[in-house]
Amino acid sequence: MNRINLPHREWLRGFLFLLYLSVVSVSYGSSHREAPLISRDPLADNTDVYAFKSPDDANTITLIANYIPFESPDGGPNYYDFGTNVRYEIHIKNKANTPGDDITYRFTFSKTNEDPTTFFYVRLGKQNLKTTYTCQKSTDGGQNFTTIVANGVVPAYNVGPRTIENTTVGLKAASYEALSDQAIATATTGEKVFCGSRDDPFFVDLAGAFDVGNFRPEGNTTNAPKDALNRYNVHSIILKVPVNLLQKDGKTITQAANILDPDYVIGVWASASRQQLKTLNATDGTVGFSGNWVQVSRLGMPLTNEAVIPIGMKDKWNATTPYNNNDLQFAAYFTNPELALYMDDSQFGGAVPSMKALRIQKASLGAFDFRNGKPGLFSLKGTAALNGTALAEAPAGFGGILLPDNKSPRAVDLLPIFYTGVPNLPPYQLATGKNNNPLAAGKPFIHNFLPTLGDMLRLNMAVPATPRNDPKFSSLGLVQAAVLGLTDAAYNTTTTLQFIPNMDGFPNGRRLEDDVTTIELQAVSGIVLAAIGLPYDDFTTTKPISPKLINVLSFNAGPTKNDTTFRTTFPYVQTPWRGFDYSLKARF
Protein backbone atom coordinates (compact mmCIF):
# COMPACT_ATOMS: atom_id res chain seq x y z
CA MET A 1 0.00 0.00 0.00
CA ASN A 2 1.28 3.44 -0.94
CA ARG A 3 1.69 5.45 2.24
CA ILE A 4 1.98 8.78 0.46
CA ASN A 5 -1.42 10.41 0.19
CA LEU A 6 -2.34 12.64 -2.73
CA PRO A 7 -1.52 16.01 -1.11
CA HIS A 8 1.90 14.70 -0.12
CA ARG A 9 2.46 13.38 -3.62
CA GLU A 10 1.64 16.76 -5.08
CA TRP A 11 3.91 18.46 -2.57
CA LEU A 12 6.76 16.07 -3.42
CA ARG A 13 6.24 16.53 -7.13
CA GLY A 14 6.29 20.30 -6.70
CA PHE A 15 9.40 20.10 -4.56
CA LEU A 16 11.23 17.98 -7.14
CA PHE A 17 10.18 20.31 -9.92
CA LEU A 18 11.51 23.33 -8.02
CA LEU A 19 14.72 21.43 -7.31
CA TYR A 20 15.04 20.67 -11.01
CA LEU A 21 14.51 24.33 -11.90
CA SER A 22 17.18 25.39 -9.44
CA VAL A 23 19.69 22.99 -10.97
CA VAL A 24 18.84 24.15 -14.48
CA SER A 25 19.18 27.79 -13.52
CA VAL A 26 22.62 27.20 -12.05
CA SER A 27 23.91 25.23 -15.02
CA TYR A 28 22.48 27.55 -17.66
CA GLY A 29 22.64 31.07 -16.29
CA SER A 30 26.22 31.00 -15.16
CA SER A 31 28.66 33.19 -16.96
CA HIS A 32 30.50 32.72 -20.12
CA ARG A 33 31.42 29.69 -18.01
CA GLU A 34 35.18 30.21 -17.89
CA ALA A 35 35.97 28.41 -14.61
CA PRO A 36 34.42 25.42 -12.81
CA LEU A 37 33.64 27.05 -9.45
CA ILE A 38 32.42 30.43 -10.62
CA SER A 39 30.17 28.75 -13.19
CA ARG A 40 28.04 27.74 -10.17
CA ASP A 41 27.88 31.27 -8.76
CA PRO A 42 26.51 33.50 -11.54
CA LEU A 43 25.77 36.52 -9.31
CA ALA A 44 29.50 36.90 -8.64
CA ASP A 45 30.68 36.05 -12.13
CA ASN A 46 32.57 38.71 -14.10
CA THR A 47 31.76 38.52 -17.79
CA ASP A 48 33.53 41.48 -19.41
CA VAL A 49 35.49 44.63 -18.65
CA TYR A 50 35.62 47.67 -20.93
CA ALA A 51 37.70 50.85 -20.69
CA PHE A 52 37.54 53.49 -23.42
CA LYS A 53 37.62 57.19 -24.13
CA SER A 54 34.02 58.36 -23.90
CA PRO A 55 32.96 58.95 -27.53
CA ASP A 56 30.95 62.06 -26.64
CA ASP A 57 33.36 63.59 -24.12
CA ALA A 58 37.13 63.76 -24.67
CA ASN A 59 37.67 64.68 -21.02
CA THR A 60 36.30 61.42 -19.59
CA ILE A 61 36.95 57.68 -19.58
CA THR A 62 34.18 55.10 -19.39
CA LEU A 63 34.76 51.98 -17.30
CA ILE A 64 32.34 49.04 -17.46
CA ALA A 65 32.28 45.83 -15.42
CA ASN A 66 29.62 43.31 -16.39
CA TYR A 67 28.32 40.41 -14.29
CA ILE A 68 25.66 37.67 -14.43
CA PRO A 69 25.66 36.66 -18.09
CA PHE A 70 23.10 34.62 -20.00
CA GLU A 71 20.26 36.51 -18.34
CA SER A 72 17.11 35.39 -20.07
CA PRO A 73 14.87 38.48 -20.39
CA ASP A 74 11.80 36.44 -19.42
CA GLY A 75 13.42 34.65 -16.47
CA GLY A 76 10.78 35.42 -13.82
CA PRO A 77 9.40 35.47 -11.25
CA ASN A 78 12.84 35.88 -9.66
CA TYR A 79 14.51 38.21 -12.12
CA TYR A 80 18.27 38.60 -12.20
CA ASP A 81 19.91 41.18 -9.99
CA PHE A 82 23.15 42.01 -8.22
CA GLY A 83 23.94 39.86 -5.18
CA THR A 84 23.51 41.35 -1.72
CA ASN A 85 26.40 39.37 -0.27
CA VAL A 86 28.94 40.21 -2.93
CA ARG A 87 31.55 42.94 -3.12
CA TYR A 88 31.82 44.12 -6.71
CA GLU A 89 34.97 46.14 -7.39
CA ILE A 90 36.62 48.01 -10.25
CA HIS A 91 40.38 48.36 -9.78
CA ILE A 92 42.64 50.96 -11.39
CA LYS A 93 46.44 51.10 -11.57
CA ASN A 94 48.12 54.30 -12.69
CA LYS A 95 51.55 53.80 -11.11
CA ALA A 96 53.88 50.86 -11.70
CA ASN A 97 55.79 51.31 -8.44
CA THR A 98 52.91 50.89 -5.96
CA PRO A 99 52.04 47.44 -4.56
CA GLY A 100 48.30 47.30 -5.29
CA ASP A 101 45.35 49.37 -6.45
CA ASP A 102 45.83 53.08 -6.86
CA ILE A 103 42.06 53.59 -7.10
CA THR A 104 39.30 51.15 -6.12
CA TYR A 105 35.57 51.55 -6.66
CA ARG A 106 33.55 49.19 -4.43
CA PHE A 107 29.84 48.47 -4.90
CA THR A 108 27.55 46.72 -2.44
CA PHE A 109 23.83 46.12 -2.94
CA SER A 110 20.73 45.90 -0.73
CA LYS A 111 17.16 44.77 -1.45
CA THR A 112 13.78 45.73 -0.03
CA ASN A 113 10.43 43.95 -0.39
CA GLU A 114 7.93 46.77 -0.87
CA ASP A 115 4.96 44.37 -1.03
CA PRO A 116 5.66 40.89 0.39
CA THR A 117 2.02 39.82 -0.12
CA THR A 118 2.34 39.31 -3.89
CA PHE A 119 4.28 36.95 -6.13
CA PHE A 120 4.53 39.59 -8.86
CA TYR A 121 7.78 41.52 -9.34
CA VAL A 122 5.77 44.77 -9.44
CA ARG A 123 2.17 45.27 -8.31
CA LEU A 124 0.29 48.54 -7.87
CA GLY A 125 3.45 50.57 -8.25
CA LYS A 126 5.38 48.66 -5.60
CA GLN A 127 8.50 46.65 -6.45
CA ASN A 128 9.59 43.47 -4.76
CA LEU A 129 13.28 43.13 -4.10
CA LYS A 130 13.85 46.75 -4.99
CA THR A 131 17.61 47.17 -5.20
CA THR A 132 19.79 50.04 -4.05
CA TYR A 133 23.56 50.34 -3.85
CA THR A 134 26.41 52.10 -2.13
CA CYS A 135 29.53 53.07 -4.06
CA GLN A 136 32.72 53.62 -2.09
CA LYS A 137 36.09 54.82 -3.35
CA SER A 138 39.61 54.22 -2.09
CA THR A 139 42.74 56.03 -3.23
CA ASP A 140 45.18 54.46 -0.76
CA GLY A 141 45.37 50.86 -1.84
CA GLY A 142 42.12 49.82 -0.19
CA GLN A 143 43.08 50.85 3.32
CA ASN A 144 40.28 53.41 3.59
CA PHE A 145 37.04 53.85 1.67
CA THR A 146 34.81 56.91 1.33
CA THR A 147 31.17 56.68 0.27
CA ILE A 148 30.68 58.66 -2.93
CA VAL A 149 27.17 57.41 -3.81
CA ALA A 150 24.76 56.53 -1.01
CA ASN A 151 21.42 54.85 -1.70
CA GLY A 152 21.95 54.66 -5.46
CA VAL A 153 19.04 53.13 -7.38
CA VAL A 154 19.12 50.04 -9.59
CA PRO A 155 16.24 50.31 -12.08
CA ALA A 156 13.71 47.49 -12.07
CA TYR A 157 14.22 44.62 -14.50
CA ASN A 158 12.69 45.22 -17.93
CA VAL A 159 9.86 42.71 -17.43
CA GLY A 160 7.24 44.13 -19.77
CA PRO A 161 4.91 47.07 -20.47
CA ARG A 162 2.44 46.43 -17.64
CA THR A 163 5.31 46.25 -15.16
CA ILE A 164 7.22 49.30 -16.37
CA GLU A 165 4.83 51.74 -18.08
CA ASN A 166 1.34 50.87 -16.89
CA THR A 167 -0.15 53.65 -14.76
CA THR A 168 -2.46 51.38 -12.75
CA VAL A 169 -0.45 48.30 -11.79
CA GLY A 170 3.06 49.22 -12.95
CA LEU A 171 5.79 51.75 -12.20
CA LYS A 172 4.24 54.49 -14.38
CA ALA A 173 7.53 55.13 -16.23
CA ALA A 174 7.42 56.90 -19.57
CA SER A 175 9.67 54.14 -20.95
CA TYR A 176 12.25 51.73 -19.66
CA GLU A 177 15.06 54.01 -20.82
CA ALA A 178 13.50 56.91 -18.95
CA LEU A 179 13.47 54.73 -15.84
CA SER A 180 17.14 53.87 -16.40
CA ASP A 181 18.18 57.47 -17.01
CA GLN A 182 16.58 58.48 -13.72
CA ALA A 183 18.91 55.99 -12.01
CA ILE A 184 22.11 57.67 -13.25
CA ALA A 185 23.87 59.14 -10.23
CA THR A 186 26.59 61.75 -9.89
CA ALA A 187 29.16 60.85 -7.24
CA THR A 188 30.35 63.40 -4.73
CA THR A 189 33.78 63.17 -6.41
CA GLY A 190 32.44 63.90 -9.92
CA GLU A 191 31.95 60.51 -11.56
CA LYS A 192 28.73 59.50 -13.30
CA VAL A 193 27.50 56.11 -12.09
CA PHE A 194 24.97 53.61 -13.40
CA CYS A 195 24.20 50.13 -12.06
CA GLY A 196 21.60 47.96 -13.69
CA SER A 197 20.51 45.55 -16.37
CA ARG A 198 21.77 46.10 -19.94
CA ASP A 199 22.01 44.22 -23.20
CA ASP A 200 25.09 41.97 -23.14
CA PRO A 201 27.41 43.84 -25.54
CA PHE A 202 29.79 40.92 -26.07
CA PHE A 203 29.41 38.84 -29.22
CA VAL A 204 31.00 35.43 -29.78
CA ASP A 205 30.25 32.03 -31.30
CA LEU A 206 30.76 30.03 -28.11
CA ALA A 207 29.42 26.84 -29.66
CA GLY A 208 31.99 26.98 -32.42
CA ALA A 209 34.88 28.15 -30.26
CA PHE A 210 34.60 25.35 -27.72
CA ASP A 211 33.98 22.63 -30.30
CA VAL A 212 37.79 22.44 -30.47
CA GLY A 213 38.13 25.73 -32.31
CA ASN A 214 35.38 24.97 -34.82
CA PHE A 215 34.86 28.63 -35.73
CA ARG A 216 32.28 29.54 -38.32
CA PRO A 217 33.38 32.71 -40.10
CA GLU A 218 30.71 35.28 -40.80
CA GLY A 219 29.21 34.57 -44.20
CA ASN A 220 29.35 30.80 -43.77
CA THR A 221 26.20 29.68 -45.57
CA THR A 222 26.25 25.97 -44.72
CA ASN A 223 26.57 26.37 -40.94
CA ALA A 224 26.00 29.98 -40.00
CA PRO A 225 27.75 31.32 -36.90
CA LYS A 226 25.63 31.93 -33.84
CA ASP A 227 26.18 34.76 -31.40
CA ALA A 228 25.70 32.83 -28.17
CA LEU A 229 24.84 36.06 -26.33
CA ASN A 230 22.23 37.23 -28.79
CA ARG A 231 19.27 38.77 -26.91
CA TYR A 232 20.67 38.05 -23.48
CA ASN A 233 21.18 40.65 -20.77
CA VAL A 234 23.85 41.25 -18.15
CA HIS A 235 24.12 43.47 -15.09
CA SER A 236 26.48 46.38 -15.61
CA ILE A 237 28.40 48.70 -13.34
CA ILE A 238 29.29 51.72 -15.47
CA LEU A 239 31.42 54.71 -14.51
CA LYS A 240 32.15 57.85 -16.51
CA VAL A 241 35.25 59.32 -14.90
CA PRO A 242 37.03 62.61 -15.62
CA VAL A 243 40.57 61.91 -16.85
CA ASN A 244 42.15 63.94 -14.05
CA LEU A 245 40.61 61.59 -11.45
CA LEU A 246 42.38 58.63 -13.08
CA GLN A 247 45.66 60.24 -14.16
CA LYS A 248 48.39 59.61 -11.59
CA ASP A 249 49.19 63.30 -11.03
CA GLY A 250 45.68 64.68 -11.41
CA LYS A 251 46.36 66.13 -14.88
CA THR A 252 43.58 66.84 -17.34
CA ILE A 253 43.55 65.61 -20.93
CA THR A 254 44.63 69.04 -22.21
CA GLN A 255 47.88 68.73 -20.24
CA ALA A 256 49.01 65.61 -22.11
CA ALA A 257 52.33 66.11 -23.94
CA ASN A 258 51.09 64.14 -26.96
CA ILE A 259 48.58 61.44 -27.88
CA LEU A 260 50.85 58.68 -26.53
CA ASP A 261 51.91 60.45 -23.33
CA PRO A 262 53.22 57.66 -21.07
CA ASP A 263 51.91 59.41 -17.95
CA TYR A 264 48.31 58.77 -19.02
CA VAL A 265 48.36 54.96 -18.99
CA ILE A 266 46.00 53.12 -16.64
CA GLY A 267 45.38 49.44 -15.97
CA VAL A 268 41.82 48.30 -15.27
CA TRP A 269 40.41 45.05 -13.91
CA ALA A 270 37.28 44.03 -12.01
CA SER A 271 36.48 41.44 -9.38
CA ALA A 272 33.81 39.96 -7.15
CA SER A 273 34.35 38.72 -3.59
CA ARG A 274 32.34 36.72 -1.08
CA GLN A 275 32.72 36.02 2.61
CA GLN A 276 34.26 32.68 3.50
CA LEU A 277 31.39 31.10 5.46
CA LYS A 278 27.87 30.45 4.24
CA THR A 279 25.21 29.33 6.73
CA LEU A 280 21.79 27.89 5.88
CA ASN A 281 19.07 28.48 8.48
CA ALA A 282 17.06 25.25 8.90
CA THR A 283 14.05 27.15 10.30
CA ASP A 284 13.27 29.70 7.61
CA GLY A 285 15.64 28.79 4.78
CA THR A 286 17.53 32.09 4.91
CA VAL A 287 21.22 32.30 4.18
CA GLY A 288 23.85 34.05 6.26
CA PHE A 289 27.45 34.96 5.41
CA SER A 290 30.41 35.65 7.69
CA GLY A 291 34.19 35.62 7.78
CA ASN A 292 36.84 37.26 5.66
CA TRP A 293 36.14 38.41 2.14
CA VAL A 294 37.65 36.21 -0.56
CA GLN A 295 37.99 37.05 -4.26
CA VAL A 296 36.04 34.49 -6.32
CA SER A 297 36.13 36.08 -9.77
CA ARG A 298 38.24 38.56 -11.70
CA LEU A 299 38.64 39.85 -15.22
CA GLY A 300 40.97 42.23 -17.02
CA MET A 301 41.87 41.26 -20.57
CA PRO A 302 39.01 39.46 -22.31
CA LEU A 303 39.12 35.68 -22.79
CA THR A 304 42.18 35.17 -20.57
CA ASN A 305 40.56 32.62 -18.29
CA GLU A 306 38.29 31.22 -21.00
CA ALA A 307 40.83 30.58 -23.75
CA VAL A 308 44.34 30.90 -22.29
CA ILE A 309 44.38 29.49 -18.73
CA PRO A 310 43.96 25.66 -18.70
CA ILE A 311 40.98 24.21 -16.89
CA GLY A 312 43.02 22.87 -13.96
CA MET A 313 44.23 26.40 -13.12
CA LYS A 314 41.10 28.43 -13.80
CA ASP A 315 39.75 28.55 -10.24
CA LYS A 316 43.19 29.50 -8.92
CA TRP A 317 43.46 32.28 -11.49
CA ASN A 318 40.09 33.67 -10.39
CA ALA A 319 41.22 33.78 -6.77
CA THR A 320 44.54 35.51 -7.55
CA THR A 321 45.11 39.25 -7.84
CA PRO A 322 47.38 40.55 -10.63
CA TYR A 323 49.73 42.16 -8.09
CA ASN A 324 53.01 41.17 -6.43
CA ASN A 325 54.05 39.16 -9.51
CA ASN A 326 51.26 36.67 -8.76
CA ASP A 327 50.46 36.30 -12.44
CA LEU A 328 53.97 35.16 -13.34
CA GLN A 329 52.91 31.63 -12.36
CA PHE A 330 50.60 31.70 -15.40
CA ALA A 331 53.09 33.31 -17.82
CA ALA A 332 53.92 30.06 -19.63
CA TYR A 333 50.37 29.93 -20.99
CA PHE A 334 51.05 33.20 -22.83
CA THR A 335 54.62 32.56 -23.95
CA ASN A 336 53.53 29.20 -25.42
CA PRO A 337 49.73 29.46 -25.79
CA GLU A 338 47.70 26.34 -26.42
CA LEU A 339 45.81 28.03 -29.25
CA ALA A 340 49.08 28.37 -31.17
CA LEU A 341 49.28 24.59 -31.46
CA TYR A 342 46.22 24.68 -33.73
CA MET A 343 47.92 27.25 -35.96
CA ASP A 344 50.96 25.07 -36.55
CA ASP A 345 50.85 22.26 -39.11
CA SER A 346 53.72 20.48 -37.36
CA GLN A 347 51.46 20.21 -34.29
CA PHE A 348 47.64 20.09 -34.50
CA GLY A 349 46.95 22.61 -37.26
CA GLY A 350 45.56 19.98 -39.60
CA ALA A 351 42.99 18.90 -37.00
CA VAL A 352 41.30 22.32 -36.89
CA PRO A 353 40.52 23.28 -40.50
CA SER A 354 38.38 26.26 -39.48
CA MET A 355 41.60 27.98 -38.35
CA LYS A 356 43.60 27.19 -41.49
CA ALA A 357 43.92 30.90 -42.30
CA LEU A 358 45.86 31.40 -39.06
CA ARG A 359 49.46 30.26 -39.32
CA ILE A 360 52.37 31.48 -37.18
CA GLN A 361 55.68 32.64 -38.61
CA LYS A 362 58.21 29.78 -38.63
CA ALA A 363 60.84 31.48 -40.80
CA SER A 364 60.21 35.22 -40.53
CA LEU A 365 62.92 37.08 -42.47
CA GLY A 366 64.35 33.61 -43.05
CA ALA A 367 65.60 33.34 -39.46
CA PHE A 368 62.96 33.61 -36.72
CA ASP A 369 60.59 30.82 -35.64
CA PHE A 370 57.71 31.81 -33.33
CA ARG A 371 55.99 28.43 -33.02
CA ASN A 372 55.56 27.01 -29.51
CA GLY A 373 58.83 25.95 -27.93
CA LYS A 374 60.93 27.62 -30.61
CA PRO A 375 63.48 30.38 -29.91
CA GLY A 376 61.68 33.33 -31.51
CA LEU A 377 64.04 36.31 -31.26
CA PHE A 378 66.19 34.77 -28.54
CA SER A 379 69.24 34.51 -30.81
CA LEU A 380 69.47 38.30 -30.62
CA LYS A 381 69.48 38.44 -26.82
CA GLY A 382 72.32 40.48 -25.38
CA THR A 383 73.62 41.58 -28.78
CA ALA A 384 74.38 45.13 -29.85
CA ALA A 385 71.53 44.87 -32.37
CA LEU A 386 69.07 45.32 -29.49
CA ASN A 387 70.63 48.51 -28.15
CA GLY A 388 68.02 51.26 -27.95
CA THR A 389 65.12 48.81 -28.12
CA ALA A 390 62.75 47.45 -25.50
CA LEU A 391 64.47 44.07 -25.94
CA ALA A 392 67.81 45.29 -24.55
CA GLU A 393 68.95 44.03 -21.18
CA ALA A 394 68.13 45.96 -18.01
CA PRO A 395 68.32 48.75 -17.04
CA ALA A 396 67.92 50.16 -20.54
CA GLY A 397 65.35 47.59 -21.67
CA PHE A 398 63.22 44.64 -20.63
CA GLY A 399 65.03 41.72 -22.22
CA GLY A 400 64.75 39.65 -19.06
CA ILE A 401 60.97 39.62 -19.46
CA LEU A 402 60.57 39.74 -23.23
CA LEU A 403 63.39 37.30 -24.09
CA PRO A 404 63.49 35.03 -21.02
CA ASP A 405 64.88 31.88 -22.70
CA ASN A 406 65.16 30.08 -26.03
CA LYS A 407 61.80 28.32 -25.80
CA SER A 408 59.32 31.10 -24.97
CA PRO A 409 58.79 32.72 -28.38
CA ARG A 410 55.60 34.65 -27.58
CA ALA A 411 57.08 36.43 -24.59
CA VAL A 412 58.02 39.07 -27.14
CA ASP A 413 54.48 39.87 -28.30
CA LEU A 414 51.62 38.11 -26.47
CA LEU A 415 53.03 38.46 -22.97
CA PRO A 416 53.37 42.27 -23.11
CA ILE A 417 49.87 42.63 -24.55
CA PHE A 418 48.44 40.92 -21.46
CA TYR A 419 50.98 41.57 -18.69
CA THR A 420 52.81 44.87 -19.28
CA GLY A 421 51.23 46.77 -22.11
CA VAL A 422 53.27 47.75 -25.16
CA PRO A 423 55.87 50.56 -25.06
CA ASN A 424 56.45 53.13 -27.78
CA LEU A 425 59.95 51.80 -28.38
CA PRO A 426 61.53 49.72 -31.12
CA PRO A 427 60.63 47.05 -32.11
CA TYR A 428 57.03 47.91 -31.05
CA GLN A 429 56.48 50.48 -33.78
CA LEU A 430 54.95 49.89 -37.17
CA ALA A 431 57.15 48.59 -39.99
CA THR A 432 56.49 51.88 -41.80
CA GLY A 433 59.90 53.51 -42.30
CA LYS A 434 61.92 50.55 -41.00
CA ASN A 435 63.24 49.45 -44.41
CA ASN A 436 62.90 45.75 -43.54
CA ASN A 437 64.78 46.10 -40.25
CA PRO A 438 62.27 45.29 -37.48
CA LEU A 439 64.64 46.65 -34.81
CA ALA A 440 64.77 50.11 -36.37
CA ALA A 441 62.54 52.99 -35.30
CA GLY A 442 59.22 53.00 -37.12
CA LYS A 443 55.87 54.75 -36.93
CA PRO A 444 54.45 54.96 -33.38
CA PHE A 445 50.97 53.55 -32.94
CA ILE A 446 50.71 52.38 -29.31
CA HIS A 447 51.97 53.15 -25.84
CA ASN A 448 49.99 51.58 -23.04
CA PHE A 449 53.02 50.35 -21.12
CA LEU A 450 52.45 49.77 -17.39
CA PRO A 451 54.90 47.01 -16.38
CA THR A 452 53.10 45.51 -13.39
CA LEU A 453 53.45 41.95 -14.77
CA GLY A 454 49.76 41.32 -14.22
CA ASP A 455 46.69 40.77 -16.38
CA MET A 456 44.85 44.07 -16.83
CA LEU A 457 43.11 45.99 -19.58
CA ARG A 458 45.56 48.82 -20.28
CA LEU A 459 44.52 52.13 -21.81
CA ASN A 460 46.40 55.27 -22.76
CA MET A 461 43.87 57.97 -21.92
CA ALA A 462 45.67 60.56 -24.09
CA VAL A 463 44.68 58.78 -27.31
CA PRO A 464 41.64 60.48 -28.88
CA ALA A 465 38.45 58.55 -29.52
CA THR A 466 37.75 57.53 -33.10
CA PRO A 467 34.32 58.94 -34.01
CA ARG A 468 31.84 56.11 -34.40
CA ASN A 469 30.68 57.59 -37.71
CA ASP A 470 34.23 57.81 -39.10
CA PRO A 471 34.34 55.73 -42.32
CA LYS A 472 37.63 54.27 -41.05
CA PHE A 473 36.19 53.18 -37.71
CA SER A 474 36.68 49.42 -37.34
CA SER A 475 35.79 46.71 -34.83
CA LEU A 476 39.33 45.33 -35.39
CA GLY A 477 40.69 48.07 -33.15
CA LEU A 478 44.45 48.43 -33.03
CA VAL A 479 44.90 45.77 -35.73
CA GLN A 480 43.08 48.06 -38.17
CA ALA A 481 45.11 51.06 -36.96
CA ALA A 482 48.23 49.08 -37.86
CA VAL A 483 46.85 48.22 -41.28
CA LEU A 484 46.12 51.89 -41.96
CA GLY A 485 49.54 52.91 -40.70
CA LEU A 486 51.17 50.45 -43.09
CA THR A 487 49.02 50.85 -46.19
CA ASP A 488 47.13 54.15 -46.17
CA ALA A 489 48.91 57.06 -47.83
CA ALA A 490 47.50 59.39 -45.20
CA TYR A 491 49.71 57.68 -42.61
CA ASN A 492 52.43 55.53 -44.22
CA THR A 493 54.61 58.21 -45.79
CA THR A 494 56.15 59.36 -42.51
CA THR A 495 57.28 57.95 -39.17
CA THR A 496 55.97 61.04 -37.38
CA LEU A 497 53.52 60.39 -34.55
CA GLN A 498 49.98 61.16 -35.72
CA PHE A 499 46.53 59.95 -34.82
CA ILE A 500 45.51 56.90 -36.83
CA PRO A 501 41.85 55.87 -36.57
CA ASN A 502 41.31 53.01 -34.09
CA MET A 503 44.45 53.69 -32.05
CA ASP A 504 41.91 53.88 -29.21
CA GLY A 505 40.76 50.30 -29.88
CA PHE A 506 41.57 46.96 -28.32
CA PRO A 507 44.11 46.07 -26.98
CA ASN A 508 44.62 49.75 -26.14
CA GLY A 509 41.64 49.64 -23.82
CA ARG A 510 38.48 48.00 -25.10
CA ARG A 511 35.54 49.66 -26.83
CA LEU A 512 32.07 48.14 -26.87
CA GLU A 513 32.35 47.63 -30.63
CA ASP A 514 35.71 45.81 -30.63
CA ASP A 515 35.71 42.24 -31.97
CA VAL A 516 38.11 40.97 -29.31
CA THR A 517 37.74 37.29 -30.24
CA THR A 518 38.93 37.87 -33.80
CA ILE A 519 41.66 40.29 -32.68
CA GLU A 520 43.06 37.87 -30.09
CA LEU A 521 43.07 34.96 -32.53
CA GLN A 522 44.86 37.12 -35.09
CA ALA A 523 47.35 38.13 -32.37
CA VAL A 524 48.06 34.49 -31.47
CA SER A 525 48.66 33.94 -35.18
CA GLY A 526 51.43 36.54 -35.15
CA ILE A 527 49.71 39.59 -36.65
CA VAL A 528 51.48 41.94 -34.22
CA LEU A 529 54.85 40.50 -35.21
CA ALA A 530 54.01 41.12 -38.85
CA ALA A 531 52.90 44.69 -38.14
CA ILE A 532 56.22 45.62 -36.53
CA GLY A 533 58.33 44.14 -39.33
CA LEU A 534 58.55 40.38 -38.67
CA PRO A 535 56.45 39.26 -41.65
CA TYR A 536 54.99 35.90 -42.58
CA ASP A 537 57.16 33.34 -44.34
CA ASP A 538 55.92 34.17 -47.86
CA PHE A 539 56.94 37.83 -47.58
CA THR A 540 59.16 39.33 -50.25
CA THR A 541 60.38 42.90 -50.62
CA THR A 542 58.49 43.12 -53.89
CA LYS A 543 55.29 41.69 -52.36
CA PRO A 544 55.05 42.96 -48.76
CA ILE A 545 51.33 42.22 -48.49
CA SER A 546 51.69 38.45 -48.68
CA PRO A 547 48.92 35.87 -49.09
CA LYS A 548 49.47 34.59 -45.55
CA LEU A 549 49.09 38.09 -44.15
CA ILE A 550 45.91 38.57 -46.16
CA ASN A 551 44.60 35.24 -44.83
CA VAL A 552 45.12 36.33 -41.23
CA LEU A 553 43.61 39.77 -41.77
CA SER A 554 40.62 38.25 -43.59
CA PHE A 555 39.88 35.75 -40.82
CA ASN A 556 37.01 36.37 -38.43
CA ALA A 557 35.69 34.28 -35.57
CA GLY A 558 32.03 34.42 -36.60
CA PRO A 559 29.84 37.22 -35.22
CA THR A 560 31.62 40.52 -35.85
CA LYS A 561 29.21 42.92 -34.17
CA ASN A 562 26.70 43.08 -31.34
CA ASP A 563 23.10 41.98 -31.79
CA THR A 564 21.93 45.59 -31.50
CA THR A 565 23.27 49.13 -31.55
CA PHE A 566 24.93 51.11 -28.78
CA ARG A 567 23.72 54.32 -27.23
CA THR A 568 25.55 57.49 -28.20
CA THR A 569 25.37 58.83 -24.64
CA PHE A 570 26.05 57.46 -21.17
CA PRO A 571 25.69 54.64 -20.17
CA TYR A 572 26.40 53.67 -23.82
CA VAL A 573 25.37 50.00 -23.41
CA GLN A 574 21.97 49.44 -24.96
CA THR A 575 18.62 48.98 -23.22
CA PRO A 576 18.16 45.43 -21.87
CA TRP A 577 15.96 43.07 -23.80
CA ARG A 578 12.38 42.98 -22.56
CA GLY A 579 10.93 39.72 -21.34
CA PHE A 580 7.43 40.35 -22.66
CA ASP A 581 8.44 41.58 -26.11
CA TYR A 582 11.71 40.70 -27.87
CA SER A 583 11.12 43.18 -30.67
CA LEU A 584 13.53 46.06 -31.14
CA LYS A 585 10.59 48.44 -30.99
CA ALA A 586 10.19 47.65 -27.30
CA ARG A 587 13.76 48.72 -26.56
CA PHE A 588 14.01 52.26 -27.89
In whole angstroms, give the CA distance from residue 517 to residue 526.
15
Tell me the pLDDT tens digit for each residue of 272-295. Answer: 999 999 898 888 888 889 999 999
Q: Quick check: 1 pLDDT over 80?
A: no
Determine contact, residues 276/292, Cβ cutoff 8 Å. yes
Determine contact, residues 209/517, Cβ cutoff 8 Å. yes
Q: Is 534 exposed, middle or buried (0-12, 13-18, 19+ CB in 10 A)?
A: buried
Distance between terminal CA atoms of the chain? Answer: 61
In whole angstroms, give the CA distance from residue 269 to residue 50.
9
Q: What's the confidence (pLDDT) of residue 17?
A: 34
Domain layout of the chain by residue ranges: 31-322+566-587
- What band does 583 get if pLDDT is binned at 50, 70 and 90? low
Tell me the pLDDT tens digit for each residue of 152-175. Answer: 999 999 999 999 999 999 999 999
Q: What is the mean pLDDT of residues 477-503?
A: 97
* DSSP letters spanning 90-114: EEEE--TTSSS-SEEEEEEEEEE-S
- What band does 421 get if pLDDT is binned at 50, 70 and 90? very high
Can you tell me whether residue 523 is helix, strand or coil?
helix
- What band does 218 get if pLDDT is binned at 50, 70 and 90? confident
What is the pTM (predicted TM-score) of this model?
0.93
Q: What is the mean pLDDT of residues 9-21?
A: 37
